[in-house]
């Protein structure tokens, strides 16, 4: 670098030497550099903390949404199961009423009630 003859470069090198020789300028440069490093450290720590909080909030919201969806699905399934049980009971009651009338065959009752012939036989056996 000492062999460079370009005047602006020579002036910059001279200024660097002057600043390096001045203890107060070195101290200020050190303080400035340390402040810049501290700022970067603070920003990185803030980013890590923000990311951590974001993850925690995301997990919390995900759990809440999962619970809500689970409850909704459970209610829907419970309602559907209740309806199916009610329909099954209605078919069996119809079959029992038709059996009590003693007008149709077991196959006809099974067709009318929407049950299997074996279910009709089991109902007939339980009735009497």
Q: Over the chain (128 residues), what is each successive 10-residue block's mean pLDDT?
A: 77 79 77 90 92 92 93 94 95 93 93 94 88
Q: Is residue 2 part of a domain?
A: no
Tokens 């409850």, residue located: 71
pLDDT at 41: 92
pLDDT at 1: 56
Q: Is residue 36 part of a domain?
A: yes
For helices 106-113 and 117-127, the axis angle rounded to 10 degrees is: 110
How many domains would you assign to the chain? 1
User: How far is residue 91's CA from residue 76's CA, in Å, rounded to a whole number?
Assistant: 23
Q: Is residue 57 part of a domain?
A: yes
pLDDT at 2: 59
DSSP string, 68-102: HHHHHHHHHHHHHHHHHHHHHHHHHHHHHHHHHHT
Domain that holds residue 85: 7-127
Counting other chains too, the contacts that 84-90 makes at CB distance below 8 Å and 24 or more residues apart are none
Rounded to two decimals, what is the model's pTM? 0.51
């Amino acid at each position: 670098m000492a062999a460079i003859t370009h005047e602006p470069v020579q002036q910059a090198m001279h200024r660097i030497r002057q600043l390096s020789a001045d203890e107060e300028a070195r101290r200020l440069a050190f303080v400035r550099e340390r402040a810049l490093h501290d700022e970067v450290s603070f920003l990185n720590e803030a980013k890590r903390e923000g990311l951590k909080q974001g993850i925690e909030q995301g997990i919390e919201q995900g759990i809440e949404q999962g619970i809500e969806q689970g409850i909704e699905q459970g209610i829907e399934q419970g309602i559907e199961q209740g309806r199916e049980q009610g329909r099954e009971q209605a078919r069996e009651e119809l079959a029992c009423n038709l059996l009590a009338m003693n007008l149709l065959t077991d196959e006809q009752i099974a067709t009318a009630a929407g049950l299997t012939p074996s279910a009709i036989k089991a109902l007939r056996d339980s009735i009497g």
